[in-house]
Structure 1
Amino acid sequence: MTVVVKPLTCRSETGSFGAAALAIRGFFCGSGLVLVLALGLAGCAGEVEPQVQYVRVEVPVQVPCRAPEVAVPAWAAAGLRKTDSLEVKVRALLAERRQRIGYERQLEAAVESCR
């Protein structure tokens, strides 16, 4: 098969395959270009405008704890003097122990509220 295309005149000399030569000649002479452009534009005609869709995504975020501040009590043994009797000192230390236990419970409750 021999096909010779003359691009300036859009004529061809055909050998044994005349239909193929005509198709090639039509493509090179402009009708194929029009066909390609028409197909390209037809592909754009059916294009649908994209739709905006909002999606809610649950993401865990650290939040600072806002636990109430625990006031430090006035300790019972803070006002002891050297001259106080042993009985007064022991009573003050026992009272302070109970104060400390209550204070620790308040601190633990504040920490637990943040969990």
Structure 2
Amino acid sequence: MMVALCFVLAGCGTREPEVRTVRVEVPVLVPCKTQEVAVPPWATASLKKSDSVELKVRALLAERRQRIGYERELVAASGACR
């Protein structure tokens, strides 16, 4: 029995090791490079207390449109990184 075990172990020791190249694909984090979204000059920034109500309402409506556009640019910039 001991002799058979020696032959088995000797047979494993004479075999050359098999060399293989294995390719492993691993996801790597890449920094997101987008242009910074510029804050627009808001329409209500230059309003005064003495301005008419009509002028203030028009400026508020214009600023609302500016804000919507600005938010869309921010969403597009953050979506480009996905």
TMscore range, shorter length = 0.7 to 0.9
2:73 matched to 1:106?
yes
Partner residue in 2 for 1:97: 64
Matches within 5 A, 1:54-73: 54-73=21-40
- More strand per residue: 1 or 2? 1
Give the deviation of 1:61 after TM superposition.
Answer: 1.9
Which blocks of at least 5 consecutive residues in structure 1 are unaligned? 1-42
CA distance in 2, matches of 1:97, 1:81: 18
Deviations 1:21-58 (A, max 9, x none): xxxxxxxxxxxxxxxxxxxxxx7xx554x565432211
CA distance in 1, matches of 2:50, 2:19: 82
Q: TM-score, length-normalised on structure 1?
A: 0.54
Write the letter of the residue equivalent to 1:79: S
State the percentage of identical aligned residues. Answer: 69
Q: TM-score, length-normalised on structure 2?
A: 0.74
Where has structure 1 moved over 6 Å in runs of 4 or more?
A: none
1:84 aligned residue (13, 35, 51) = 51
Which blocks of at least 5 consecutive residues in structure 2 are unaligned? 1-10
Number of residue-to-residue matches in the alignment: 75
State which structure, 1 or 2, has the greater radius of gyration over its C-alpha atoms: 1
SS of residue in 1 equivalent to 2:64: helix
CA distance in 2, matches of 1:77, 1:107: 21
Structure 1 vs Structure 2 CA RMSD:
2.4
SS of residue in 2 equivalent to 1:84: coil
